[in-house]
A = this chain, B = another copy of it.
């Protein structure tokens, strides 16, 4: 199901044909949101039409373009307006601001679609020889500026390398449970091919439909079920990477003591250390059963403790998520408005509130996948733990409803932006003993900064969080904030809150990103996270692999 790129939004999420369906009560949802955000009236901020977009003129010399054409052929070289603007940016909030404004600068001079690994190797060598920036681009769903078409200071132009024609499952080792897959395979293609043969990678990030294997690895992504299937750096066995030094195949042993694992540098390389052409990945048999359920806790702290115990007892869960009280209330209200509860459900809801399930309540989702017997056994053990923390079981309907819409949320952003409502997210991880302190610190920072950046005195922000991925030693926190957009300078408003939140993360003992990556947006904080010696080492690694800095300049390492 590879996409014809022209069916995809060049300035928003997903397919032109698809939107987030708010249903028959749509206007209630909008009214509630308007009131919650303290807006008298929504703004009217339509995105600029493609025909009106202004981009810089391509500056790559014809001789270089001819050499690109030599490598990828006529069909693989694109310089039209749609392709250039589609590949100019990723899908971060500032990306959308730029794309919707119509002033798109920078933009790639050309886009190339190699069909073989050898073509990628030749393109990288050409970039190195001719000194143009080469941007690896899979689905383009980066939310951290990871694919912005920036050239370095002395470079003669920018070419974006779109990997999506490298999209085949090359082989499956059914005995070792690994698959060799080309890096440009979109999530749905990859899963379809694997599942036809009884296997799954099980990597389902929210961007699943519009992101690629190579992008997941390059950004150290995490699927929603990463407890079962692993984060990208865990399911990655080995990779082929095209570098200015040639094609590099990393070690792929089940385990090794042959010195430091150099292959571990690939996950998180963000196209700055090479362009991934194929990867060998760990696969699983398609689970026979999936069981997703919701639980309600009286307090966030109880739910977090239960999540920690589930992990530390080694229960084979696929997913544990815990929404903080603000997110729990938001999700419940959003769901009630879209689909008003029947009388029985309403009485039950009222009863809950009457019996003390107040504003502090927190929702947990637990997903278990596998053989039916094992799923049942794990569920029983989860039940023992959550009961001890006096959870109220919401049953499978809450889980099913989440599962059904797990990829659809990004579609909401475009209609929100049309109305002058901004939404952004950021995420981190920290140790269990620091989860609550970091949670409070980041929430307060975002809320306070948005207050100082508010459109009007009565405008309000929605700031909420969930524990999105759990580990034995800690968890990730995923923050979402929704706020009325300042029309005069929306970018400055965002920068203020982004800066303050990133400072809060780094100062508060969290990583600058758990699965979104670094890109341009987090690069200023990387030195503090890695430490001076670690950061300089990363610079040395970059200098060794890509001495002319032609690969994805400006990302990962800002200097």
* A293 interfacial by beta-carbon distance below 8 Å: no
Q: Do residues B253 and A474 form an inter-chain contact, with CB atoms below 8 A? A: yes
Check if A251 is an interface residue, CB within 8 A of chain B.
Answer: yes
CB of B431 within 8 A of CB of A176, answer: yes
Q: Which residue of B lies closest to A231 (CB)?
A: B255
Out of B249, B254, B429, name the residue touching A531 (CB < 8 Å): B249
- A245 within 8 Å of B by Cβ? yes
Tell me if B473 and A178 are in contact (CB < 8 A): yes
Task: Give the A interface residue count (CB, 8 A).
Answer: 88
When C-beta atoms are compared, the residue in chain B nearest to A247 turns out to be B533
Hey, which chain B residues are within 8 Å of A475, CB to CB?
254
Task: Please tell me if the beta carbons of A469 and B255 are within 8 angstroms of each other in the complex.
Answer: yes
A529 to B262, CA, bound (A): 11
Q: Indicate whether A257 sits within 8 Å of B471 (C-beta atoms), given known contacts A308-B175, A511-B251.
A: no
Can you name the residue of chain B whose Cβ is closest to the Cβ of A144? B257
User: Which residues of B are found within 8 Å of A259, using beta-carbon distances?
Assistant: 268-270, 517-518, 526, 530, 538, 556-557
Residue contact B511 to A256, C-beta cutoff 8 Å? yes
B residues within 8 A CB of A370?
Answer: 314
Contact B176 A474 (CB under 8 A): yes
List, in ascending order, chain B residues with CB within 8 A of A431's CB: 173, 175-176, 178, 253-254
Cβ contacts under 8 Å, A538 to chain B: 259-260, 262
With A237-B473, A473-B237, A538-B262 known to touch, is A514 a contact of B256 (CB < 8 Å)?
yes
Chain B residues contacting A471 (CB-CB under 8 Å) are 254-255
Stretch from A151-159, A183-191, A219-227 forming part of the interface with B: A219-227
Is A522 close to B, CB under 8 A? yes
A265-299 vs B: 1/0 string, CB under 8 Å? 11111100100000000100000000000000000
Does A261 reach chain B (CB closer than 8 Å)?
yes
A245 to B532 Cα, complex, angstroms = 9
- Whether B530 pairs with A251 at a CB distance below 8 angstroms is yes
> A511 and B253 in contact (CB under 8 A), knowing A431-B178, A533-B248?
yes
A262 touches B534 (CB 8 A): yes
Q: Find out whether the CB atom of B175 lies under 8 angstroms from the CB atom of A534.
A: no
A510 close to B (CB within 8 Å): yes
Q: Which residue of chain B lies nearest to A281 when distances are taken between CB atoms in the complex?
A: B473
Does A346 lie at the interface of the complex (its beta carbon under 8 Å from any beta carbon of B)?
Answer: no
Interface: A513 (CB within 8 A): yes
> Does A430 lie at the interface of the complex (its beta carbon under 8 Å from any beta carbon of B)?
yes
Contacts of A253 in B (CB 8 A): 429-431, 474, 510-511, 514
Contact for A269 among B175, B260, B512, B522, CB less than 8 A: B260
Minimal Cβ-Cβ distance residue in B for A244 = B533
| A549, B373: Cα distance in complex, Å | 56
User: Of the 9-residue stretches A11-19, A72-80, A539-547, which lies at the interface with chain B?
Assistant: A539-547
Q: Which residue of B has the minimal Cβ distance to A545? A: B537
Task: Name 16 extra pairs, CB < 8 A, besides A176-B432, A254-B431, A259-B526.
Answer: A176-B431, A222-B255, A248-B531, A253-B514, A254-B429, A257-B511, A257-B513, A257-B515, A258-B268, A258-B513, A258-B517, A259-B269, A259-B517, A259-B538, A260-B541, A537-B541
Chain A residues proximal to chain B, CB less than 8 Å: 173, 175-178, 219-222, 231, 233, 237, 243, 245-246, 248-251, 253-270, 273, 282, 308, 312-314, 316, 370-371, 374, 377, 429-434, 469, 471-476, 510-518, 522, 526, 529-534, 536-538, 540-541, 543-545, 556-557
